[in-house]
A and B are shown apart, each in its own frame.
Chain A
Amino acid sequence: MTAPKGQDPVAAAAAGDREALASLWREHRRWVGAVLLAHLPPGADLEDLLQEVAIAVVQHLKELREPEKLRPWLRSVAVNTAASAARKEEVRRRVLRPLGEGEQGGPVAQDGRQEQAADARRVLEMAQNLPTDYREPLLLRCVQGLSQRSIAEVLGMPETTVETRLARARRLLREALERDQVGPAPSAPPQPAAALTRMQP
C-alpha cells in the first residue's frame, strides 16, 4: 500500500504505507537507539529493545493523533520499552538468583587490546551512569545530525534547558573520567593554541 504523493510521511506511514514507515524508521532509529542506551537496564540488549520499539511503532503509529509530535512519541515508546525490559530483568534476576546465576569464576586476565576496548566502553558506561536528566541529552547530542533544537523537541523542553543540561553533563563526565583515570589521559600542560585550532569553527 502506497500513500498519495505529497502526503505527510508520518501520516502516510500511519495510514499503512509500508515504504513510508520503513523510511521513517530508518530516519529515526539511531537517536531512538541513543534514548534506549540512556535508559538501558543492566543486561539488556540494545538490538532486542530496538526491535521491540520497531514492533510497537508498526502496531501503534496509527494512534498518533498529531504527526508533528512524532519525536516525543517515539521517545516515550523507547523509554517505556526500556522500563518494561527493566521490570522483566528484575523478575528474571529474582527468579534466577536462588539458582546461582551470576556466580562467576575468578578474574580473567586481559591483554592490552582488551583493556583498551574495555576503557573505551567505560566512557559510554560512565555517560550512562550520569543522572537521568543529563545522560539523555548528552547521548542524543552525540548522534550525528541531531541538533540541540531537535533534542529539545524530543525531550519536550526549551532549548536553553537542553544547553544547560548538556553543559552540566559534559562537566560531570569529564570529572568522572578524571576520577577514574580512564579514557582520555589527563591533559599535558595547557595548550590553548592547540585547543583553539581543533575546536574553533
Chain B
Amino acid sequence: MSSVAEEILISRIVDGNAAPADWSALAAAAASDPEVWARLARTGEAQNALRAQLERALEAADCVEIPAASSRRPRWSIWTGWAAAAALALAWLGIGWNRGDRVPAESPAGPAGFDQLAGAGSDPTTPAEPAGFLREGAPPGHFLEELPAVMVDARPASDGNGQEVYYIRRLLERARVDQMYQVNRNELGQPVAVPVSTGPAVPRPPL
C-alpha cells in the first residue's frame, strides 16, 4: 500500500468516517507492516491533543459578541486615514516640498502634545523639535498642528531612574494632489490601486 493511501485510511479512521472496507484495507497493510497500528495510534493521539488545545484557544471566541451599538467610523477618522495615505503618496512620488535646501529650525518650546506626555523640560534628551523643522520646511498652510501623542510602551529606565516612554507623534498636514488612490486587493489577493473620488467640492471652513 502506498504511503498516500495509508495516510488517507488513517485519517478517515481518526475522523470516524472509515467504512468497514477501509478497516480491512488497513488491517491488510498492517499484516505486512505492524508499524501501521502505531502510526494510527499516534495520529489519533495527536488529533486528540490538538482538538483539546484548540478548544481551549477558542474559548476566547465565546466572549466575542457583535458590537452592541453601530460601529460606523466617524467621518474624521476616515479622512485622517486618507490624509496619511496622501502624505505617503506624496513622499513616494517625490512631489512634496523641496527638502534639500532647508535647515532644521530651532524652536524655543516643544509642542503641546509632547509637553503633556513627558512633562515640559523634564527630559534633557528630547530631540530638536521635528515639528518646528516641518513648520519651517513646508509650504505655507501645509503643517496644521500636532495631535496628542500616542503612547506605545513604557518601561523602567535601564539605569533605574524614571521611566522610558515610547510614543508616536502625530502631525496633521495638508497637501493638494491631482488624484487619490485606495489600495484594494483583487480576487487573487494582490494589491491594486483604485482611483477614488471625494465627491464634489463644497465650501467649508479651513481646518
Contacts and interface: CB of A to CB of B under 8 A. Distances in A.
A138 B14 CA distance: 12
A187 B8 CA distance: 20
B118 to A, nearest CB: 15
B50 interface: yes
A59 B72 contact: yes
A74 interface: no
B185 interface: yes
A175 B180 CA distance: 51
Most chain A beta-carbon contacts within 10 A, residue among B47, B55, B153: B47
Interface stretch (B62-70, B105-113, B135-143): B62-70
A192 B28 CA distance: 12
Given A30-B61, A80-B185, A174-B39, 4 more contacts: A22-B66, A123-B46, A171-B11, A199-B40
Contacts of B44: 195, 198-199
B14 A199 contact: yes
Contacts, number: 159
A25 interface: yes
B147 to A, nearest CB: 18
Interface of A: 18, 21-22, 25-26, 29-30, 32-34, 37, 46-47, 50-51, 54-55, 57-59, 80, 92, 95-96, 99, 101, 120-121, 123-124, 127, 138-139, 141-144, 148, 163-164, 166-168, 170-171, 173-174, 177-178, 183-184, 186-187, 189-192, 194-196, 198-201
Contacts of A123: 46, 49-50, 53
A192 B72 contact: no
Given A33-B60, A148-B17, A191-B37, A170 B46 contact: yes
A96 B152 contact: yes
B46 A173 contact: yes
A190 B34 contact: yes
A174 B166 contact: no
A142 B42 CA distance: 16
B48 to A, nearest CB: 8
7 contacts: A50-B60, A51-B64, A58-B67, A95-B152, A143-B54, A170-B43, A174-B43
Contact of B42 (A141, A168, A178): A178
Contacts of A58: 66-67, 70-71
Interface string B69-105: 0111000000000000000000000000000000000
Contacts of B34: 190
A186 to B, nearest CB: 7
Nearest to A192: B37
